[in-house]
Chain A
Amino acid sequence: MSLTTLTKPWEAMSYGFLDGSAKRELRRKTLKSVAVPGCQMPYASREVPMARGWGTGGLQVSLTLVNPKTRVKVIDQGADDSVNAASIRRFIARVAGTPTTMDTLEADLIQSRHRIPEEILREDQILVLQVPNPEPLRPVQPNMSIARQMHADADYGRMWLQLYEQIVRSGRVMQGASYPSLVHGRHVMTPSPIPRWDVPKLNMSKHLTILSAGREKRIFAVPPYTRVEPLVFSDVPYKVEEHGHLTCYRSGTKGFFMNEIPQDDGTSTFEVSDSEWGVKAIRKGAGEPVTTGETWYKNGEMPE
Chain B
Amino acid sequence: MRDGSDKFLTEKELIEGCRKNDARAQRRLYELFAPTMLAVCIRYTGSRENAKDVLQEGFLTVFDKIGTYKGQGSFEGWMRRVFANQSLMYIRRNDALKYADEIESVPESGLGLDSDDPLGKLNAKELLDLISAMPAGFRSVFNLYVLEGYSHQEIAEALGITEGSSRSQLSRGRVWLQERIKKL
Partners in one complex: no
Taking Cβ atoms with an 8 Å cutoff, the residues of A that contact B are: none
Q: Mark B residues whose CB is within 8 Å of A.
A: none
